[in-house]
Structure 1
């Protein structure tokens, strides 16, 4: 990281030659109680704190064209749309009314930016009680600022008590198909909000492995046409658990995965960050959750599916994992007032940036 000061001779020469330096990246992070932090990634300085009128941010999703960030909030069940160029809120509304409330987390905009697709529950206040709806697929009109279409989630798809809260959403390039990725991939027609297909990834053909489950997807979407995530799996015979990288192609609906090695015992793996050329990956491994907790970075070679190097770092009770826009640094943050920065190749600590705000679980998004 370079400190502000006199420009080096090389930089002056570049300017004299007419070379325009790359634009600095901007980092967006949700924070309590109703703020979106806007940071200059090069310096770590907080440049702005945007107030979200609908309350506490719980998830963020950037559009495929990188021009808008869609934030869902929990305080009043709202949506905030941030323009990445101006770094300002351009649309803000709450779905809740005195007699009607909604509960949802995350979702995906359609390619036009006019509609937001999600899974939600509706709570209606009657004279003597609250009437709770089943889980529903829903379309939120971002112009009318209201839920305009819903369809009940079929019973076989709503048995998970966390339905809608641990679901990853992807949208086809033409906006006609919605993919809900959790224990399986559910393929929905956006016009009718009906499930057209259920693709079982838990028992891939001819692999000798079953019980495959996706983890969280790559936070910075490198390829909007492909869902990439960590996965865990076990063989059907002696139940040995392994981990690897899984890829789901939205166009062909093909699931491809490559096991890397034995899954950590007594812990878990959190998140996956991938280099722009998709050749390197990083994840965080937590060993022994109770009593003797250890946290490690694992640096993966995705061309050979081998671990390049590992390094332990100080654990936090709760944290999230991210990567800088240029792929040179790894971030540990969340449930705290700071970001810990590490070198992506050596996995060594670089510095700690004080944010001045307690960050939420909404994650981070980095734009140019």
Structure 2
């Protein structure tokens, strides 16, 4: 009888589902979707009081998600355990507005650092500020400190909108990663150094550009990204994986192969053991557009296999929490799921909401 009881308990434990992952996704007009990753079911839709989500950032301890919104220039903080909004506010007032996208919290979780512009309504016109570094106090729910960005750092037309934000472990240094790396002292919001990684030394290449950061490799000390580069002689373009170490400020670029002609590469996802990688390649953007998955062996820097998939006019690329499925989503009501090894279509999940460009965050 004891053996039978033990066998039943063992069977029950074996058949019990593992800790299911939860997917957080922004959607129109003011919702955060809470999706059960195992079933693809939308478990909840959280209304964000400050409006449309445009970016998400998870804290280093995975306990909080910081969402920036564009409707009223707000910040929403979501507790990943309870899946509830624990802080919500808008920066805009009837006479003052802000424009920003993304940012990073400090280790204490009280301050949020970003770059922004301020618009003040005067009697006869709107006064537009230059691009500024900013510290937002999440307790006071206000911008409490700003510093004007040097003119040489505002020449990038996408400054503030295509920027990777990282914070040092001690909260004393802010890193802005784009065409170069800006190192900003959080005490006075002044640029104390600039790293021209676009022209790394002793590599035989120039024109290195950052792609999207790798969320699965995100850590307090390293920024990992897909890069493209070209040599200075015959302008051949190659792509590879680059790592920027926040502590040592060292940049490491490892080429993988020729970059696609007439298109681009979007995102990089990696397996948990960091031995495999996946990216999306778009060939011929105009007229004859083709989209492919490229499956990479990161130990040998070789392409393992490729597969074409139906293009969308615009989309985002992600990977499941167990790295077994690849996701194509965005500007639509669904997620297309593909097997990460065979690159073949598995299923389509209907979300019932049009998702925004805020991306997705997966938690256990």
1:169 equivalent to 2:165? Answer yes
Tell me the TM-score normalised to structure 2 length. Answer: 0.96
User: Whole-Å Cα distance in 2 between the matches of residues 45 and 214 of structure 1?
Assistant: 34
How far does the alpha carbon of each residue in 1:97-141 deviate from its partner, in whole angstroms, 9 at most, with x for none?
A: 000000000000001000000000000000000000000000000
Q: Tell me if 1:22 matches 2:7.
A: no
1:45 and 2:8 aligned: no
**Whole-Å separation in 2 of the counterparts to 1:97 and 1:264:** 46
Across the aligned residues of Structure 1 and Structure 2, the Cα RMSD in angstroms comes to 1.4
SS at match of 1:331: strand
C-alpha contact (below 8 Å) 2:217/2:270 kept by paired residues: no
Partner of 1:13: 10
Unaligned runs of 5+ in 2: 1-6
| 1:221-248 Cα distance to aligned partner (Å, 9 max, x none) | 4433110000111000011111110000
CA distance in 2: counterparts of 1:12 and 1:166, whole angstroms? 52
Kept after mapping to 2: 8 A contact 1:222/1:276:
no
TM-score with structure 1 setting the length: 0.95
Distance 1:125 1:117 in 2: 24
- Measured in 2, the distance between the counterparts of 1:300 and 1:149 equals 44
Deviation at 1:20, TM superposition (A): 7.4
Matched residue, 2:289: 293
Q: Distance in 1 between matches of 2:8 and 2:298?
A: 34
1:108 and 2:107 correspond: no
Query: Which of residues 161, 165, 189 in structure 1 aligns to 2:185?
Result: 189
CA distance in 1, matches of 2:203, 2:273: 27
Q: Matches of residues 333-352 of structure 1 in structure 2 within 5 Å?
A: 333-352=329-348
> CA offsets, 1:243-302, max 9 Å, x none?
110000111110001011111001000111111221111100000111111000001111
Distance 1:274 1:62 in 2: 18
| Per-residue CA distance 1:64-104 (angstroms, 9 max, x = gap) | 00000000000000000000000011100000000000000
- The Cα offsets for residues 31-83 of structure 1, whole Å up to 9 and x where unpaired, read as 00000000000000000000000000000000000000000000000000000
Q: How do 1:122-133 and structure 2 match up within 5 A?
A: 122-133=118-129
Equivalent residue for 1:271, pick from 261, 267, 272? 267
Matched, 1:228 2:196: no
Shift of 1:162: 1.3
Q: Describe the shift of the 1:182–1:282 C-alpha distance in structure 2 as closer, same or farther (beyond 3 A).
A: same
Residue 159 (str. 1) matches residue 158 (str. 2): no
Question: Which residue matches 2:328?
Answer: 332
Report if aligned partners of 2:92, 2:98 keep a CA contact under 8 Å in 1: yes
Please say if 1:316 is aligned against 2:312: yes
Could you tell me how far apart the structure 2 residues matched to 1:120 and 1:158 are?
11
Q: Which residue of 1 aligns with 2:255?
A: 259
Alpha-carbon distance between aligned partners in 2 of 1:132 and 1:224, rounded to the nearest angstrom: 34
For residues 273 and 217 of structure 2, the distance between their equivalents in structure 1, rounded to whole angstroms, comes to: 12
- Contact 1:166-1:182 within 8 A present in 2 as well: yes
Specify every segment of 5 or more residues in structure 1 that has no aligned partner in the other structure, as ranges: 1-9
Question: Aligned with 1:253: secondary structure?
Answer: coil
